[in-house]
Copies of this chain bind each other. A is one copy, B any other.
Amino acid sequence: MAGIKDVARQAGVSVGTVSNVINRPDLVSEQTRARVQAVIERLGYVRSESARQLRAGRSRIVALLVLDMGNPFFVDVARGAERAARQAGLGVMVCNSARSPSEEADYISLFAEQRVRGVLLTPADPTGRTLDALRRNGTPFVLVDRVAAGPAECSVSVDDVNGGMLAAGHLIARGHRSIAFIGGPPELIQVRDRGAGARAALAEAGLPPESLLEISADGMDVAAGRDAGARLLGLAPRPTAVFCANDLLALGVLQAMYAARVGVPDELAIVGYDDIEFAAAAAVPLTSVRQPAAAMGRLAAELLMEETSGADVGHRHRQVVLQPELVVRSSSLAAWPADR
């Protein structure tokens, strides 16, 4: 494979000049530039990124380490981050820790070897060892979908309490007075926050706390939702609406209702959370709370680039909190409450 020296020799100039043709064309005379360009084309010369990096001391790559590549949410985060990085001439390397602390640690050391510009991540390791490793070797990072522990670190997250308020508020506005909240394992902060938001919405509307019936699912997947839906069906005065902490739970509930021939939304309104791609594809398109995933990715990348840009003036570590958005579809639009 042709190197810069081959180009220089064939064009009859020095390597320095070839380098200038590529990186600072204004320093080179018109005709020299044309001649060198021609040789570059002819030889199919491609510069070696590793040599550039070695010289520059750091790479032009930002790492993005997500919890689950299969989750459309993170795919959107990746898209947002990629776009922002591209505009700044940086590449994004997307990696998947699959919620495994050991894979996460593997990737972190890979990143260190690669001398990446910085890391955007949602940590999988609850002990925080991952972040310590980054801090130790001085790799800049931005937390995604988590709030930073202290003011010396950047993070971008979403306001889950408000998300819960949006969902429950919508159901209340549609006339529902008895609402179930299907949450997953209560140790997940996100689930707790969404429930808290729902309670706040009830209180704000002047409804008694008993109007919200909390059902705890033993997971955050479709099967758990199906189980919870079955339990819901067994209740004597059945709630007229259900708010699920997650779209998968909502899809599970929908399955249970279909099997029991309970009409959605007329006999039971459903609101999910996350607005995953298939929320709109469900048998009854699902009303859901959308997280601004692409914006998170973009902001995270921008914070990182601000921190690592040459212009050292004034990067303040920030903890950005974004607001979710309610996407209304058929599953919460029963005809009757509007009629009353």
Contact = CB atoms under 8 A, between A and B. Distances in A.
Interface in A164-189: none
Q: A49, A79, A258 — which one has the most chain B CB atoms within 10 A of its CB?
A: A49
A127 interface: no
Interface string A39-73: 00000101111110110000100000000011010
Interface stretch (A6-14, A105-113, A315-323): A105-113
Instruction: Tell me the dominant secondary structure on chain A's binding face.
Output: helix
Specify how many copies of this chain sit in the oligomer: 2
A335 interface: no
Q: 7 closest pairs, A vs B, by CB?
A: A283-B283, A50-B53, A258-B283, A49-B113, A278-B278, A222-B281, A50-B50
Interface stretch (A191-199, A202-210, A247-255, A304-312): A247-255
24 contacts: A1-B137, A1-B138, A44-B136, A46-B137, A47-B113, A48-B54, A48-B115, A49-B115, A50-B51, A50-B54, A50-B115, A69-B78, A69-B79, A70-B277, A93-B93, A251-B282, A255-B281, A255-B284, A258-B258, A258-B283, A258-B284, A278-B278, A278-B281, A282-B283
Contacts of A252: 281
A75 B94 CA distance: 12
A280 interface: yes
A254 B285 CA distance: 11
A323 to B, nearest CB: 24
A74 to B, nearest CB: 10
A216 interface: no
A118 B112 CA distance: 23
Q: A48, A94, A280 — which one has the most chain B CB atoms within 10 A of its CB?
A: A48
